[in-house]
Amino acid sequence: MAAKLIDGKAISAKVKEEVRDEIKQGNLKIGLAVIIVGDDGASRIYVNNKKKACEFCGINSFEYALPEHTSEAELISLIDKLNNDAAVNGILVQQPLPKHINQSVVNAAISPNKDVDAFHSENVGHIVGGDFKFLPCTPAGVMRMLEAENIDVCGKECVVIGRSDIVGKPMALLLLHKHATVMICHSRTKNLAEVTARADVLVSAVGKVGLVTADMVKPGAVVIDVGMNRDEDGKLCGDVAFDEVKEVASLITPVPGGVGPMTIAMLMKNVLTAKKLEQK
């Protein structure tokens, strides 16, 4: 029997409704500043989707579209201004940045209390310790999906493919905090298929079309596809060879319509959290 689809659109809509209702009930004035440097097509789509989500939730969105040649110093100067702007509760700098701008320097410049991407080293430290205020949006979205499907990872074998600071590492930590047994795989992992075939929950966050095939998946496993790629026909797809893996897995996320909408919904939740922190 083919796997059940985990509907990211439906779950993300519920999260956004929760955020909208809380903002309405508290009559809260909340602002998110989004900075985009250069004219990356995919980044523009993400920024537009974030604006739509803000509008739905009742969050003011302030967009700063900077030219490609903007210097690192100019970008940091804008971030400083936004750190001190009472109307702005969250600051997000869209990735990727042009090569001449150091991502780590940018992450460090954002106030930890307005860091709604949870990339500042202070917030990363809290995630490691388990006493976090903010969580990176994509891993938090995956955890919310598992929760929505009543999947308890406690004691289960979970494999994360990918070790990025944005998804792979925090994903593994969040699973660990829920008492899963976690293995992180990457480009240098030997016998990848053997490792993934043991997983009760398999999360792929690499960005490689068709990386995960049916023979790599344990029958009845939960498969979460974080990849966002284009195939040779230009069609949006993930890391998982969906048509073959869905015949083996018990639950699977589609691309598009899986993890993507959750990332934006959890961003809205983080912006609301930033407002609550400010009120405290």
Cα dihedral sign, 173-217-228-69 = positive
Say whether 94 is catalytic.
Answer: yes
Q: Is 279 a catalytic residue?
A: no
Dihedral, CA of residue 6, residue 268, residue 34 and residue 224, to nearest 10: -20
Cα 181 to Cα 83, 172, 188, distances in angstroms: 39, 9, 20
Query: Of 115, 117, 225, 239, which is the active-site residue?
Result: 117
Residue 258 near residue 43, CB atoms below 8 Å: no
Would you tell me the crossing angle of helices 121-129 and 168-177 to the nearest 10 degrees? Answer: 30
Angle of helix 259-279 relative to helix 41-57, nearest 10 degrees?
50
Q: How far apart, in whole angstroms, are the C-alpha atoms of residue 111 and residue 228?
A: 29
User: How far separated are the first and last CA of the chain, in Å rounded?
Assistant: 50
Active-site pick, 16, 50, 156, 269? 50
Examine residue 256 and say whether the peptide bond preceding it is cis (omega within 30 degrees of 0).
yes
H/E stretch holding 101 reads none
Residue among 94, 115, 225, 239 flagged as catalytic: 94
Contact 267, 47 (CB under 8 A): no
* Residues with catalytic function: 50, 94, 117
